[in-house]
Structure 1
Amino acid sequence: MFSAITITIYLAAWAFLLHTTVRRETMRTERLLAFIAFGNLFHFIAAYHSILSDSGYQFGFFKVPSLFFAVINLVVLLSSIRKPLHNLFLFLLPLSVLSLLLASMDLQTRTSQPLALATISHILLSLLAYSLLTIASLQALLLAYQNYQLKHKHLRGVMGLLPPLQTMETLLFELVWAGEILLTLSIITGFLFTYSFAEQHVSHKAVFSVLSWLIYAMLLWGRHTLGWRGAAAIRWTLGGFAALMLAYFGSKLVLEIILDRV
């Protein structure tokens, strides 16, 4: 029921946002964000019931994305109060609906484990880091689109709704900085409390997480010392995001879907 309510709200908000964007109509952003926030509340409830089982919590391959996008939407909602991020919901709302549908169709029961406080802190830090860096990757895609349109002198349509290029780049690096700090804390808590290299899938997760951290660190170093921007910033941001997604979803895809082990 909660999933159905959330999907209805998200689709209505997405249709309204798409309509106003295409027609370049003015809108009350505050009302749109309040409507999405209402749906986001139901999204968290739906995600919670999806991963909750009688024996504990099940973080399955098709269940985690729903919680993942609930957190992302919350971060974008809060950030949109001061930053021009609401257009990201053109991407996020359809993906959120897809994640809810996948979670509702995943009826497989997997081994549940009780969660210690240290593990919970690691999960929360990871979710926040993944959320911010996902938003950064979407921002990078918007920046790539903006660069392409400016290069080909297409200044109408969606271009008129986006902030200036310099503002978009500044926002991108703010997101990467915040995400990198949280990713650092996530990796530290992972090594201290949860990673066991005797488990092969955990070692793969740790390796790709560290690889992602290194890519983002190189991006921030290049920005600070070499003045990286534009295409270089976009490539490194998306490269770091790809490694980060492989860290979690790659091992889960192999184990749960291909090998059906966990």
Structure 2
Amino acid sequence: MTALIPSMLAAGLYLGGTLYQFQCFSKRLTANAHILRVVGFVALLVHAVSLFLQLFSGQGLSLGFFNAASLIAWLVVGLTLASSFRAPVMTLLLSLYPLALVTVLLAALLPDHGTIFVADRHGLIVHILLSILAYGILSIAAFQAAMLAIQEYQLKHKRPTRFIRTFPPLQTMERLLFQFLMCGEVLLTLALISGFVFLENMFAQDVAHKTLLSCLAWILFGILLWGRHVRGWRGSNAIRWTLAGFLVLMLAYFGSKLVREFILPL
């Protein structure tokens, strides 16, 4: 079975969810959360089938640039939908569904530049999955911070748009941001620890930059959480530190893969 068929089905469902949200927005209506969840969970199910066909081969786990991006988008959408039952995060889907749409198509249509990891190295697989889970949670935090920045700017200048009026109150948005950050920091800590335990050398030449940037991101998120707890950091401080930490973490993972898989082979 080719991965193209479930990938196209998932892309169609993500597109349908996105168009439905824009239609509700244009008509000044609130999108039905039940419809968004049903569409999202069905899309995730089909997306998971395509990921299984792309990631698992007879040689091991294939995590090339586009496969990894598709997996992380799947995880981010799934975590957001799961969180939506207890937190007002449905607005994030307006940007997350298009992200999942693009990544699932890129993984299906563009050539695989996958790195194969040997299947019997279970410790390495644990490290990879923890890293991806941490990246997924912190991606949601970054989206939350971006939305919070837009909301704060428009409210400060007394020009809230219809889109911003659909957001929860600032305090709720800020509380959710730090909940995601705390969860992501814990997972990133476990990912780094598992890397030092299961990898022979976390500072080997081919992974040293990734390790250093991941540690730097861990420090930045740690400083932010300390500042929140001790000094009560909020608002623009929280937004800047969150986006800075996420940018460093993104460079650690996608930056190194982009250079290694696309630029160096040229």
TM-score bucket of the superposed structures, by smaller chain? over 0.9
Q: Which runs of 5+ in 1 are unaligned?
A: none
Give the length in aligned residue pairs.
Answer: 261
Give per-residue Cα distances to partners, 1:107-139, cap 9 Å, x unaligned: 246552323221221122111110110000000
The normalised TM-score by structure 2 is: 0.93
Q: Which moved more, 1:64-73 or 1:112-121?
A: 112-121
Which residue does 2:259 correspond to in 1? 254
What's 1:52 paired with? 56
Give the whole-Å Cα distance in 2 for the aligned partners of 1:197 and 1:36: 37
- Superposed displacement of residue 101, structure 1: 1.6
Which of 215, 220, 223 is matched with 1:218 structurally?
Answer: 223
Q: 1:109 to 1:173 in 2, by over 3 A?
A: closer
Residue aligning to 1:69: 73
Q: Distance in 2 between matches of 1:78 and 1:206?
A: 30
Indicate the residue corresponding to 2:197 in structure 1. 192
| Contact 1:216–1:237, Cα closer than 8 Å, also in 2 | yes
TM-score normalised by the chain length of structure 1: 0.95
Aligned match of 2:109 = 105
CA contact (8 A) 2:151 2:160 kept: no
Give the structure 1 partner of residue 18 of structure 2. 14
SS at match of 1:57: strand
Show structure 1 runs of 4+ deviating over 6 A: none
Root-mean-square deviation over aligned CA pairs:
1.6
The DSSP-based 3-state class of the residue aligned with 1:18 is helix
Residue in structure 2 matched with residue 228 of structure 1 by the alignment: 233
Aligned residue among 159, 166, 171 for 1:161: 166
Q: Is 1:114 matched with 2:114?
A: no
Is the aligned partner of 1:137 residue 2:125?
no
8 Å CA contact 1:47–1:63 kept in 2: the answer is yes
The separation in 2 between residues aligned to 1:161 and 1:111, in whole angstroms, is: 42
Give yes or no for contact 1:62–1:102 (8 Å, CA) kept in 2.
yes
Please tell me whether residue 41 in structure 1 is matched to residue 45 in structure 2: yes
Question: Identity over aligned residues, as a percent?
Answer: 43
Deviation at 1:23, TM superposition (A): 2.5
CA distance in 2, matches of 1:198, 1:245: 18
